[in-house]
Amino acid sequence: MPARIEPCLALLQSKAPAGPDWAFEVKWDGYRLAVHRDASGVRIITRGGHDWTHRFPSIAAEAAELDAGSFILDGEAVVLDEAGRADFGLLQQALGGRGGKAKAERAMLFAFDLLYLDGRALTCMALIERRQMLEDLIDHESGAIRLSEEVEADGAEFLASACKFGLEGIIAKRRDAPYRPGRGGDWLKIKCIQSDTFLIIGYEPSSAALGGVGRLLLAGHGNYGLNYVGSVGTGFTHTSATALRKQLDRVTAASPAARGIADKRVVWVKPKLAAEIAYRGWTHDEKLRHASFKGLRENADEAPVYRVG
């Protein structure tokens, strides 16, 4: 069994594809994981190749009980809110925040692909065949490992329903495609609300705001270094803002990491912390519109930082 398989990644599109060649699922808002099991036990590997078995004990325990000798599951670890929606902030809290060491007992895995089963690599098989084998392996609707359901629907209608329910978006997958690493277009993501990863380059202290953080200044990668993309001042809880302020104060800098910005009220920081930010679009001068903080990204997750332009 391979020690690791590079993940297939979804390519962002503005609208859902149409036709019988495409299968649709909910886009889960969490951490991408590969769950390996063989004779030596269970390993849970992040997208960046880090072993996080100890961070997801409930998922590991259930993987040990699945009725197969060896397998590799591809899926997303999430924590659901009261309405049954995946909440990235709740997952981060369960893990103890960025750099935390907590065990996310509440996390569950929504499995959406099966890459290896009982001595046989499945990556060359069509998705529709892998999917059938996955459904045979995970035949329950509760517990720490659940099947990410395939939805029989028109793509545009499914996207509209997902957005109405407050989900992040949907995933479309070519039914006849093998499992290929990277963003080759076999998998597409269509979002209800934009959500991307940006680097924090500074913060504005505030005695009135939660945790003492009035707003965060953000940047993305540009052609000649980091580009300032605006700020975010909502989405924090007292707990998350307090923890964030402590982390930011450990990486302060004398000047901004992005060019073309100056503000005497801001404490500049080295661009070491990556934040997941939800937003509604871009202003005419290329700044985020209606941005909201969702949480910090772990290095182990290897979420790509947004590239401007």
Longest Cα–Cα distance of the chain, Å, equals 61
Residue 27 designated active-site: yes
Q: What is the rounded distance in angstroms from the CA atom of residue 228 to the CA atom of residue 220?
A: 7
Phi first, then psi: give them for residue 25, nearest 5 degrees.
-140, 165
- Separation CA 145–CA 114 (nearest Å): 13
How far apart CA 168 and CA 179 sit, in angstroms, is: 24
- Choosing from 15, 27, 272, 294, which is the catalytic residue? 27
Give CA 38 to chain center in angstroms: 26
Q: Which long-range contacts (CB under 8 A, 24 or more apart) does 299-303 make?
A: 299/48, 300/46, 300/47, 300/48, 300/50, 300/52, 301/31, 301/32, 301/46, 301/47, 301/48, 302/46, 302/47, 302/48, 303/47, 303/197, 303/274, 303/276
Tell me which residues are annotated as active site.
Answer: 27
